[in-house]
Amino acid sequence: MPTLRSGLVIAGGYANKVRATVFAQLREDIKQGRIDNKSVAFHIAQLNRFLYTLFVERLKIDKGDVVRITINYEVTDGKIVWDFKSLKVEVFKRVPEVEVERVLNEIIPEAEKIMKAPIEYSVELLGSTVDGDLIYVVKVGNVESGVIEALQINEDLVYVKTGAVLDPEPAVIEKVKLPLEGLKLEELLKQKMPEIVSKAKYVTREEAEATIQYIRKRLQEVRPVEGVEKPEE
């Protein structure tokens, strides 16, 4: 049974480390057809969804805190099965070990439910670029996680030109078309964010942050939407 060992990693980078480690461990399995890249990515995303709930929502650790994750898993019928009974999580700052154990004992029985639950995103308009694109901040709960740049083509079609999110995994969004379905643009984006993110490309946190910074710089060229203040730099 393979074991995922993240080693010591800052909390802001655990998702990338988990993804890179598992793909490296399963390189031969992928080559030999026991599992494909898409399935590996899907099951890693589910584990990172669980870890996001643990670290961010429950333990509320800072992205600069150091963590270490260990968990056994099996590759069965083209899927990764995580052995949550073997899960060991260490937090090397601020959070007492007894608190980590308490929270783990609470949420491990709900692991499957947590991994399958969609992230609840919200979007808020930041402003409009000179050429008419709308830039929105993306939030997970009350925490800003990224930005997207979108354009309503006509009454039926919305085009998400670009964007990036940091949670639960860093990803860059490119060229997503969505039917408007009779909804207001902001309402549609909020409803469809899980779908939009599912089509994104997983990247390092640094790459996602660079994309966010680039999109936010577009606001320096804006004609602000009425009633929306330009964010401070």
Alpha-carbon distance 231 to 229, whole Å? 6
- The answer to which of 22-36, 85-99, 157-171, 195-209 has the lowest mean pLDDT is 85-99
Beta bridge partners of 140: 121, 143
Mean pLDDT across 170-179: 94
Query: What tens digit of pLDDT does each residue of 111-140 get?
Result: 999 998 888 899 999 998 888 899 999 999
With a cut of 50, say whether residue 200 has pLDDT above it.
yes
Question: Confidence band (pLDDT; 50, 70, 90) for 228?
Answer: low
Question: Is residue 84 over pLDDT 90?
Answer: yes
Look at residue 132 in the predicted model and tell me its pLDDT: 84
The whole-number pLDDT of residue 120 equals: 87
* 164 backbone dihedrals φ, ψ, rounded to 5°: -160, 150
- High-pLDDT (> 90) share of the chain, %: 70
pTM, whole model, 2 decimals? 0.74
**Structural domains in the chain plus CATH codes:** 3-116 (3.30.470), 121-221 (no CATH)
Cβ atoms of 4 and 18 within 8 Å: the answer is yes
> What mean pLDDT is predicted for residues 87-106?
88
SS3 129: coil
Long-range contacts formed by 188-195: CB under 8 A, 24+ apart: 188/158, 189/123, 189/136, 189/148, 189/150, 189/158, 189/160, 190/121, 190/122, 190/123, 193/119, 193/121, 193/123, 193/138, 194/118, 194/119, 194/121
State yes or no: pLDDT of 165 exceeds 60.
yes
Contacts 24+ apart (CB under 8 A), 18-23: 18/44, 18/47, 18/48, 18/51, 18/69, 19/44, 19/48, 19/169, 19/202, 22/80
Q: Please state the φ and ψ torsions of residue 61, each to the nearest 5 degrees.
A: -80, 160
Q: With a cut of 90, say whether residue 232 has pLDDT above it.
A: no
Residue 222 clears pLDDT 60, i.e. is over it: no
